């Protein structure tokens, strides 16, 4: 077990490079299952969720070759298995994309329901509804989702999503790319990673129009062929560094971003008194004065992203006045509140609403990363806090942030990754 030890109170200065987007990579890699030939995928983030997806694909028979740190060649032409092992699939949320990809390629899939962070109830009924509309028969039994297309191939269909779901939109895109005929996804999600998945599939020969709007049309093709593709930068990783500068103060240039994707986060930070300057594919973030209070409601893109809510909450803990957070996506995304309180934050939670009364100073404390973004928020709070913060359960953070300790250290943060001896770790578990 490892933990991060942070001596807070040091402003951040310098430049940081943003890695490829986790939530794009975990869909684009399984999408290679649909492709007949080698896909060279660049700007792949080096994070444990990606390693897990690649392990599952290898288990299915894919040939994976790491070309360098951020580039992989994926050849799925020899894939023959359609059953995903339970122990691997349960460790990540994105294993649900294997249902759409295997169903699209082979007309059948056996995949355990996905794992991932505990953010409350996380159904996949809209994914399954889409597959059913496309002619799949679905059964959930013995801990597996069994999906099989009539006559071995899905057909196009009209699918209206009852909720705006990133996962369902992407999964139906995957399944529809090789289906017979036209699929129309209505009330589709519009996140940048949806556009990225559609661009990847189109560059391999798919016929997808409208990604990034709420109606996506997919005309199924007979075959996808290999090629090269580079994944977009991670909006949430960039937003997390922006939040870190807002909390700890200083001036940081954040490189390799798409400024348009950052607008929803930039606008809120500017409202809070943070200076943000755009320059090509970089943003410079500066915070010298006090932070203003703000209200934040999370919504599907282009609204404020739920995956930035805990990190912005950490910043609001230090803002002057009372801020209100309204979580619009997940039922249980305030589990970090107890941990923040250990650091002196004043935060009250009632269902989907959190009320934060800003304090002048947070104080370092031992805290636990209760999920990926909560863990990132502990780091943001720890960087600003007076004294030592020890963040436990950092494997959650490593699911989605490449080299976070090294990147923050380069910005002047005092953060170290420490191995906890087994005995000490057991004694700390309550």
Nearest Cα neighbor of 248 from 217, 277, 213, 274 is 274
Residue range at the interface with ligand EPU (CB under 6 A); choices 125-133, 149-157, 389-397, 415-423:
125-133
> Who's near 267: CB < 8 A, 6+ residues apart?
none
The strand pair at 296-297 and 275-279 is best described as unpaired
Q: How far is CA 246 from CA 9, 20, 184, 192, 347, in A?
A: 12, 23, 42, 24, 19
Rama region for 344: left / alpha / beta (φ>0; ψ in -120 to 50; rest): left
> Who's near 421: CB < 8 A, 6+ residues apart?
none
Whose tokens are 């359960």? That residue is 393
Does 125 sit near ligand EPU (CB under 6 A)? yes
**Are the C-beta atoms of residues 340 and 309 closer than 8 Å to each other?**
no
For residues 219 and 180, what is the distance between their CA atoms, to the nearest angstrom? Answer: 8
Shortest gap between Cβ of 333 and ligand EPU (angstroms)?
8
For residues 331 and 306, what is the distance between their CA atoms, to the nearest angstrom? Answer: 11
- The gap from C-alpha 274 to its chain's centroid, in whole angstroms, comes to 24
Residue range at the interface with ligand EPU (CB under 6 A); choices 51-59, 78-86, 119-127, 135-143:
119-127
Does 347 sit near ligand EPU (CB under 6 A)? no
3-state secondary structure (DSSP) of residue 183: strand
Does 127 sit near ligand EPU (CB under 6 A)? yes
String of DSSP letters for 389-402: EEEE-THHHHTT-T
Among 16, 98, 124, 383, binds ligand EPU (CB under 6 A): 124
Does 136 sit near ligand EPU (CB under 6 A)? no
**Are the C-beta atoms of residues 397 and 422 closer than 8 Å to each other?**
no
Active-site residue among 117, 264, 317, 370? Answer: 117
Nearer to ligand EPU, 327 or 392 (CB): 327
Among 94, 149, 232, 243, binds ligand EPU (CB under 6 A): 94
Residue range at the interface with ligand EPU (CB under 6 A); choices 121-129, 204-212, 240-248, 357-365:
121-129
Does 172 sit near ligand EPU (CB under 6 A)? no
Shortest gap between Cβ of 353 and ligand EPU (angstroms)?
16
Nearer to ligand EPU, 123 or 143 (CB): 123
Among 196, 307, 327, 390, binds ligand EPU (CB under 6 A): 307
Shortest gap between Cβ of 189 and ligand EPU (angstroms)?
6
Shortest gap between Cβ of 399 and ligand EPU (angstroms)?
8
Among 18, 52, 148, 168, binds ligand EPU (CB under 6 A): 168
Q: Can 117 be counted among the known catalytic residues?
A: yes
Whose tokens are 């976070």? That residue is 404
Shortest gap between Cβ of 200 and ligand EPU (angstroms)?
15
**Are the C-beta atoms of residues 283 and 262 closer than 8 Å to each other?**
yes
Catalytic (active-site) positions:
117
Residues at the interface with ligand EPU (CB under 6 A): 23, 26, 93-94, 117, 121-127, 163, 165-168, 189, 306-307, 329-330, 372-373, 400
């Amino acid at each position: 077990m490892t933990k991060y030890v942070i001596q807070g109170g040091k402003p951040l200065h310098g430049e940081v490079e943003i890695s490829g987007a986790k939530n794009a990579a975990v869909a684009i890699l399984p999408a290679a299952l649909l492709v007949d030939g080698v896909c060279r995928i660049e700007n792949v983030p080096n994070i444990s969720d990606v390693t897990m997806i690649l392990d599952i694909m290898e288990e299915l028979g894919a040939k994976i070759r790491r070309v360098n740190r951020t580039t992989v060649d994926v050849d799925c032409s020899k894939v023959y298995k359609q059953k995903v092992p339970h122990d691997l699939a349960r460790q990540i949320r994105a294993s649900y994309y294997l249902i759409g990809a295997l169903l699209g390629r082979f007309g059948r899939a056996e995949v355990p329901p996905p794992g991932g962070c505990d953010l409350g109830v996380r159904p996949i009924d809209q994914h399954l509804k889409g597959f059913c509309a496309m002619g799949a028969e679905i059964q959930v039994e013995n801990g597996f989702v069994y999906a099989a297309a009539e006559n071995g191939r899905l057909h196009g269909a009209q699918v209206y999503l009852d909720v705006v779901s990133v996962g369902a939109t992407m999964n139906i895109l995957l399944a529809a790319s090789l289906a017979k005929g036209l699929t129309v996804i209505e009330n589709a999600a519009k996140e940048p990673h949806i556009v990225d998945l559609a661009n990847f599939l189109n560059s391999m020969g798919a016929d997808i129009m409208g990604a990034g709007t709420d109606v996506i049309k997919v005309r199924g093709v007979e075959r996808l062929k290999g090629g090269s593709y580079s994944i977009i930068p991670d909006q949430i990783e960039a937003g997390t560094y922006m939040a870190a500068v807002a909390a700890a103060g200083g001036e940081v240039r954040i490189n390799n971003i798409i400024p348009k994707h950052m607008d929803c986060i930039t606008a809120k930070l500017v409202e809070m008194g943070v200076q943000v300057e755009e320059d090509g594919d970089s943003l410079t973030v500066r915070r010298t004065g006090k932070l203003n209070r703000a209200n934040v409601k999370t919504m599907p893109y282009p609204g404020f992203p739920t995956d930035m809510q805990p990190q912005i909450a950490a910043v609001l803990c230090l803002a002057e006045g009372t801020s209100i957070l309204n979580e619009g996506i997940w039922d249980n995304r305030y589990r970090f509140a107890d941990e923040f309180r250990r650091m002196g934050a004043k935060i009250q939670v009632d269902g989907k609403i959190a009320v934060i009364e800003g304090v002048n100073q947070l104080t370092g404390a031992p805290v636990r990363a209760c999920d990926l973004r909560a863990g990132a928020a502990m780091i943001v709070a720890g960087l600003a806090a007076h004294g030592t913060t020890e963040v436990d359960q950092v494997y959650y953070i490593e699911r989605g942030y490449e080299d976070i300790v090294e990147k923050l250290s380069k910005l002047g943060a005092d953060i170290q990754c420490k191995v906890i001896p087994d005995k000490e770790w057991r004694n700390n578990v309550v």
